[in-house]
Amino acid sequence: MKLAILIPAYNEEKTIGQVLTSIPRRFPKVNQVEIVVISDGSTDKTVEIAQKAGVTLIEHNLNRGLGGALGTGFEYVRQNYFDVVVTFDADGQHQSEDIWPVIRPIIYRRADVVIGSRLKSASWRTRGMPWYRLLGIWGLNLVTLIFFWVWSTDSQSGLRAFSKKAIRLIDIQANKMEVSSEFFYEIGRHELKFKEVPIRSIYTEYSLAKGQKNWNIFRIISRLIYRRFFSK
């Protein structure tokens, strides 16, 4: 079984090296692991660090946004016939030991899409999530439910896994942060089997500065309206 770990990165020289070093190269029932960094128009040393790490590197000449980077990554895994794909943030927020719990339901054919939820466990209050970040996540969870009729406790999580079926069917059209909610449109549209598992996140000043901003919700809503009602 072939596993691709997609890491979208925009000017992540401070964290990308440690992130790449932390990711395991072996998982149960997986005989090939490929780490794919999509440098989304980075102007710092992100590309240089990724090259030295010996991972697969795809470069955008211009910064397109999270959705653009993930769209490029999904096209790569389709062309190279991967069985499972994981999306993993480059800012050091995710813990590599959470990759296996996220891919396990895919490998054992219990789900087509798995979201690593920061809010799934009752102990989320102790994990350092700022109140304003929590408020923004719940707001976008509700927006995602209203537009796409799929409920998630953490619709904006960047740690996700997709089966070969999901890789083939999901059509990413968004270029920016609204891609996180767009995945749920694709889950509902294709009736993909969906599951959440609890994960832990590491919050630092750096990762919080890089993350989703609450005021983006209005731009995201407008783009989701277009995706839901006007796109083909």
User: Each residue of 218-230: b (16+ CB within 10 Å) or e?
Assistant: eebbebbeebeee
pLDDT of residue 126: 42
Q: What is the pLDDT along the chain (232 residues), one digit of tens a residue?
A: 999 999 999 999 999 999 999 999 999 999 999 999 999 999 999 999 999 999 999 999 999 999 999 999 999 999 999 999 999 999 999 999 999 999 999 999 999 999 999 988 655 444 567 777 788 888 889 988 988 889 999 999 999 999 999 999 999 998 888 899 899 999 999 999 999 999 988 777 776 666 555 556 666 666 666 666 666 5
Strands 160-163 and 113-117: antiparallel
Q: Judge whether 127 and 203 are in contact, CB under 8 Å.
A: yes
pLDDT of residue 207: 62
Domains of the chain: which residue ranges?
2-229
d(Cα 38, Cα 18) in Å, to the nearest integer?
16
Domain 2-229 has CATH 3.90.550.10: yes
pLDDT of residue 21: 97
Q: Judge whether 70 and 172 are in contact, CB under 8 Å.
A: yes
pLDDT digits (tens, 9 = 90+) for 176-228: 888 998 999 999 999 999 999 999 887 777 766 665 555 566 666 666 666 66
62 C-beta neighbours (distance < 10 Å), count: 7
